[in-house]
Amino acid sequence: MHLSTEPAFGEVNQLGGVFVNGRPLPNAIRLRIVELAQLGIRPCDISRQLRVSHGCVSKILARYNETGSILPGAIGGSKPRVTTPTVVKHIRTYKQRDPGIFAWEIRDRLLADGVCDKYNVPSVSSISRILRNKIGTLSQQGHYESHKQQQQQQQHPTSALQYNHIYSYTSPMAAKVPTPPGMHSIPSSMAMPRTWPSSHSVTDILGIRSITDQVSDTSPYHSPKIEEWCSLSRNGFQSTQHMLNGLEKGSLEQEVKYSQTDSSTVAGPIGTSQIRPYSVPDA
DNA sequence: ATCGTCACGGTTGAG
DNA sequence: CACTCAACCGTGACG
């Protein structure tokens, strides 16, 4: 991580837009790209207006058309080589049946039961890690699995699960926005699943929270909205149009310039994000 | 002028 | 716990 020198400020592209190399654009901007496109604005104009390279606009729109999701793909990590869902499931079963079972016994059983062959059976240390990291949190296991899979091969357009992590992505905003009483706020368990994919988007790094705060001043533009939008996906797009109106230029420009204002305060949760990426210490 | 595509330098996180 | 490496990112340039 190169955060030593110019961490939170990102870089400026040819259009004057700010970005963080290697990191996804903030969801707010991704959303705007799709919204503007839906309004019939040409990609080249969107590019200029939002100051995002046209290649990026093109990519985001293409993905949206293909998958219905505005979200970036799952960054980092690697696909399970031996720790497949099936294997984990079996290990869990073994562990449940015999809590005192040793890792090497599990290994033997995986082989004996034909779950794995000698080439793909997890090592004892892998099994130990599975026991520690996954089986240890049984309650969330099922969710983890499906969520993770959705994410990893996020080719699948349909499933609603896919949108689960938009909660995650936008939750920082929601967390930051002082959810008005009576407003449906997201339960934190939902907003911040343990398996948060990747919390440090530019949103966080650059302090886009501030822009979303500003936005939320003028319109109810926080995660419940986005949630709604997402569940509506491509078909029910009308409902977002008022959002768009509510967001008119003023907020848009602020949005685009988001990082140039205050970003020094966002000591992003970099590196510690997995559990509670945005434990916003509101104060 | 516009847009699809890709090399590039970058970050991330499961293994 | 440090490392690896394949996934992803957006930009910028080319056609």
Instruction: Provide, in whole angstroms, the distance separating residue A72's CA from nucleotide B6's C1'.
Output: 18
Which pLDDT does position A240 carry in this prediction? 43
Q: Three-class SS string for A213-248?
A: HHHHHHCCCCHHHHHHHHHHCCCCCHHHHHHHHHCC
How remote is the C-alpha of A83 from its chain's centroid?
Answer: 23
Kindly determine whether the C-beta of residue A254 is less than 7 Å away from any atom of nucleic acid strand B. Answer: no
**Nucleotides on strand B with an atom closer than 7 A to protein CB?**
1-7, 9-15
Lowest mean per-residue pLDDT among A31-35, A49-53, A189-193, A213-217: A189-193
Nearest-angstrom CA–CA distance, A53 and A8:
20
Least confident of A64-68, A124-128, A133-137: A133-137
> Are the C-beta atoms of A257 and A18 separated by less than 8 Å?
yes
Look up residue A185 and give its amino acid.
Answer: S
Sorting pLDDT into bands at 50, 70 and 90, what band is A8?
low
Chain C positions with any atom < 7 A from a protein CB: 4-13
Run of H or E including A35: helix A27-38
Q: Which percentage of chain A shows pLDDT scores above 70?
A: 40
A58 CA – C15 C1', rounded, Å = 16
Nearest residue for B1, CA–C1': A44
How big is the CA angle at A171 (ends A168 and A172), to the nearest 5 degrees?
115
Q: Given a cut of 60, is residue A234 above it in pLDDT? A: no
The closest nt to A271, taking CA to C1', is B12
What pLDDT, on a 0 to 100 scale, did the predictor assign at position A267? 33
Cβ of A1 near strand B (distance < 7 A)? yes
Query: Which comes out higher in pLDDT, residue A255 or A35?
Result: A35
pLDDT exceeds 80 at position A123: no
- Angstrom distance, A67 CA to C14 C1': 28
- The pairing of strands A11-12 and A18-19 is antiparallel
Global pTM exceeds 0.75:
no
Which of A65-69, A118-122, A212-216, A273-277: highest mean pLDDT? A65-69
**Does position A19 have pLDDT exceeding 90, yes or no?**
yes
Query: How far does the CA of A181 sit from the C1' of C7, in Å?
Result: 41
In terms of pLDDT, which residue wins out, A30 or A218?
Answer: A30
- Integer Cα distance of A195 and A146 in angstroms: 11
What pLDDT shows up at residue A90? 83
> Residue A59, CA: closest nucleotide via C1'?
B4
Mean pLDDT of chain A: 59
- Of A30, A13, A14, whose CA–CA distance to A226 is shortest? A30
Which of the pair, A105 or A173, is modelled with greater confidence? Answer: A105
Determine the straight-line distance between the first and last CA of chain A, rounded to whole angstroms.
27
The confidence score (pLDDT) of residue A52 equals 97
**Confidence label for A39 from pLDDT (cuts 50, 70 and 90):** very high
Which residues interact with strand C by a CB < 7 Å criterion? A 13-15, 17, 19, 21-25, 30, 52-56, 59-60, 72-79, 154
- For residues A82 and A120, is the Cβ–Cβ distance under 8 A? yes
Residue nearest to nucleotide C8 (CA to C1'): A75
Task: Judge whether residue A25 has pLDDT over 80.
Answer: yes
Does any strand B atom come closer than 7 Å to the Cβ of A10?
no
Q: What is the pLDDT of residue A111?
A: 80
Q: State the DSSP code for A277.
A: T
Give the CA-to-C1' distance from A125 to C13 in angstroms.
47
